Structure 1
């Protein structure tokens, strides 16, 4: 979801997203240990983070949901996100997703260190600070590494995730299911359609969308769908490279799902031919990939409709109508 925040300002924006960086911190002098009881972030950095002093705190732009900062210390740098309006559950889910991707040992992601509540209200997450390179990630390397993550990250529990999380600021339900079509229909498309009906009174898209859900099984015929670990929100603002040029992915909305669902934000990701060629060398393309592609775009168009308004309704409605005609229902 394009409103997510990254580790460093990516200078990537879509005019219709209405998101501006939130730059709220000013530079400060090194913090003394006496301040520990007032700030759990500093407390962790100056104890478990093995720093003896924080030399600088600087704002990091790029998102509109959380406040992001870089903490420079004598033990290295840390990346910190805070939010004064929410409890730790959102950041806990993010940390679990980052940790799951990190443990595959494939594509680079920031290692999460600590999640907790702020004093008085709000929450924070502390993670590895990654120095970004000057260029975007190499498309073929990105495709290969992403496919390696999908191949390595498997679940014996089926489709879902240990916790619910968010895609942008929208709740994402991850209750386990052994049936991908049921999971995707209920917890992805169905959930978004209900939001649209409840928020906008849009009974037309709700009814047509549910006709599609009830009749979409033929799109998945003659393929084997394994639950793969997905980033879940892979658009250009969540993709970058480190100083060595290796791809880095950020701000996940992880779950175990059909690998093709990872391309649902491709309209905002800029994936080219070299990306897909490299990806399919590791994870071979399955029959009917092209006819299923838009069913995965639909989830994210619906989410953008619910988050940002009617500008995205026509794209979602067009996909639904096209599938209803294709399936003759």
Structure 2
């Protein structure tokens, strides 16, 4: 729960951010996913959202998430909750942010969502990657910069998780070899494209209808990568209306052959979910790899 020391830290952080003395009145536990403890913090200046986790296991996770939310804010495209403070207290790490209140979707919700994502994807930089490692869920995400997307995807995304799965005896040497064979084919599969600012974990559990009736995204795993990664992730678990995909294609058409690359792009989140939640994703991973 929220102890007195943490309350003081949060009050001080909010007071500094908002330039007014903040008193915390209550902390109510709310549902916020499977990874973190989450709370609605009540103060004399309204409500805020708090995440807690084990500082020893994930000492830099919330610093990375704070930076990712700031990067998405800077793109001025999709709505994201404003991050306010992060730190550690009594063995716990915390992230404090704006509390987003659910609203009612406007008529063009999906079209606007897709157009905003395309606008975000137009934010670019010279290399694929990100200034520091971060996380997708609780899985470490490596962001060493590369000028080639196939090289980045192989060395920073697929093979680290394949090796981790092998070390944990989830997959065998044959599947490792299949993954290596796929990685050798990546340069022929992906046409050259500028790095795009990605949400990185864009599934239906990581967006909501915000108070203005537009999409609000959260829990990012931000990096500069191939924009088909966000689109493939959105398709993986459902929850996105078909209008979303048509509107994105109208706003910024994907390169020819994108349909054939969906499975390859989904391989990374499938590996993440297999490591986090068990072997139920094994068959989906094997099916993708066997195609190559």
TM-score by length of 1: 0.81
Give the structure 1 partner of residue 85 of structure 2.
114
Work out whether 1:198 is the aligned partner of 2:198: no
Q: Mind listing any 5+ residue stretches in structure 1 that lack a counterpart?
A: 1-23, 29-34, 325-329
For 2:267 and 2:228, how far apart are their aligned partners in 1?
Answer: 13
Give the structure 2 partner of residue 20 of structure 1.
none
**Is the CA contact (8 Å cut-off) linking 1:41 and 1:124 kept in structure 2?**
no
Of residues 13, 22, 26, the one that matches 1:56 is 26
**Is the CA contact (8 Å cut-off) linking 2:14 and 2:84 kept in structure 1?**
no
Deviations along 1:104-151, whole A, 9 cap, x unmatched? 111100111111111x21211111111122569932221111111111
Give the structure 2 partner of residue 186 of structure 1.
155
Query: Aligned pairs, how many?
Result: 287
Work out whether 1:40 is the aligned partner of 2:29: no
Work out whether 1:141 is the aligned partner of 2:109: no
For 2:282 and 2:5, how far apart are their aligned partners in 1?
Answer: 49
For 1:93 and 1:41, how far apart are their aligned partners in 2?
Answer: 19
Of residues 301, 307, 315, the one that matches 2:276 is 307
For 1:214 and 1:38, how far apart are their aligned partners in 2?
Answer: 52
Q: Give 3-state SS (helix, strand or coil) of 1:318's partner.
A: helix
Give the structure 1 partner of residue 203 of structure 2.
235
CA-based RMSD = 2.1
Deviation for aligned residue 1:37: 7.9
Give the structure 2 partner of residue 256 of structure 1.
224
For 2:242 and 2:271, how far apart are their aligned partners in 1?
Answer: 26
For 1:163 and 1:131, how far apart are their aligned partners in 2?
Answer: 31
**Is the CA contact (8 Å cut-off) linking 1:154 and 1:227 kept in structure 2?**
yes
Give the structure 1 partner of residue 121 of structure 2.
150
**Is the CA contact (8 Å cut-off) linking 2:124 and 2:195 kept in structure 1?**
yes
For 1:206 and 1:94, how far apart are their aligned partners in 2?
Answer: 30
TM-score by length of 2: 0.91
Give the structure 2 partner of residue 160 of structure 1.
129
Q: Mind listing any 5+ residue stretches in structure 2 that lack a counterpart?
A: none
For 1:264 and 1:60, how far apart are their aligned partners in 2?
Answer: 30
Q: Give 3-state SS (helix, strand or coil) of 2:62's partner.
A: helix
| Structure 1 pair 179–37 and aligned structure 2 pair: CA distance change class (3 A) | closer
